[in-house]
Amino acid sequence: MARTSKLVAALTRRGAHRVLRGDLAFAGLPGVVYTPESGFNLPAVAFGHDWLAGVERYSQLLEHLASWGIVAAAPDTERGLAPSVLNLAFDMGTALDIAAGVRLGPGKISVHPAKLGLIGHGFGGSAAVFAAAGMPGRHKAVAVIFPAVTKPPAEQPAATLRVPGVVFSTAEEAKSLRSNAIELSRAWDTATVRLVSKAQPAGLIEGRRLSGVFGLPGAHRKTQKAVRALLTGYLLYVLAGDKTYRDFADPEAQLPHTDALDPDASPLAPEEKIAALLKR
């Protein structure tokens, strides 16, 4: 545990790589890509944003991944009040194609085609599941951060996934009306669940939001730091193959900034979730 604590503490800070930022629009897709300054055969991920949050609200997260040697591409699409999870999933696949198929930076950066992953937050987390299911066998891992219920639901494609994955949630959020974290983890046989301690799921979004209009909470630095560390360690093991971070993908390992999973936890039926909300 002491060794893992040191790794998590190091991963809360930026890595050793200088970071470059590029525009996916040069390849016809609105969005951004963050890369290390140099490196060949790097791992890469496509990132999906939450509802009403563009990619600029995740710049520190994406920069953090790049500073640890992971290319991060993020489409800046489906930002309206009624976005399509299927369209965002398609755009995530396109963003990853761009990252993997184009020589990035000044010719000193390339992505390994067998080190690709998908990650997403909230609405974008469910989009990551759809993207992975639509391209079976292409991705090495999927990470879903505080996933949200979508239409169509992501549980059915999750049941088809054979790729390793991790679902980040909290004990309270997992049973909320908005979340489908428990449902996804039950459907997805190869997924590990991590409950982030004292996290605020919407707090992963950086900067100020339209909280005054929609009642959405603001940024939460402790949530951001914990998720960055846990996510980076997971990706460094499953995508980059760095065995130093093996525990981050071990479902039996208890990591810092996480709570133990209740083995008897079960998802609430929709009517039970509504009743729970009405009692608040």
pLDDT tens per residue across all 280 residues of the chain? 668 999 999 999 999 999 999 999 988 999 999 999 999 999 999 999 999 999 999 999 999 999 999 999 999 999 999 999 999 999 999 999 999 987 776 778 999 999 999 999 999 999 999 999 999 989 999 999 999 999 999 999 999 999 999 999 998 887 777 899 999 999 999 999 999 999 999 999 998 655 444 555 678 999 999 999 999 999 999 999 999 999 999 999 999 999 987 655 554 444 343 333 334 3
Task: Give the type of residue at 241.
Answer: G
We report the CATH number of the domain holding residue 181 as 3.40.50.1820
User: Hunting for tokens 């390339």 — which residue is that?
Assistant: 110
The set of residues, in sequence order, having a beta carbon less than 8 Å from that of 131 and lying 6+ positions away, is 46, 48, 89, 90, 92, 93, 118
Both structure tokens of 231? 């996510």
Both structure tokens of 57? 């609200």
Residue 16's domain spans which residues? 1-278
DSSP 148: B
The pLDDT value given to residue 216: 59
Distance CA 104, CA 177 (A): 41
Phi then psi for residue 102, to 5 deg, are -120, 135
Beta strands in 122-266 (DSSP E): 141-145, 165-169, 191-196, 258-259
Q: Is the omega angle on the peptide bond into residue 152 within 30 degrees of 0, that is, cis?
A: yes
The pLDDT value given to residue 235: 98
216: alpha, beta or left? (left if phi > 0; alpha if psi -120 to 50): beta
Distance CA 256, CA 2 (A): 9
Domain count, the chain: 1
Nearest 10 degrees: Cα torsion 267, 268, 270, 274: -140
Both structure tokens of 114? 């067998």
The pLDDT value given to residue 104: 72
Pairing of strands 141-145, 258-259: unpaired
The pLDDT value given to residue 211: 47
Both structure tokens of 26? 């040069």
Pairing of strands 109-121, 31-36: unpaired
The pLDDT value given to residue 273: 38
CA 3 to chain centre: 25
The pLDDT value given to residue 276: 39
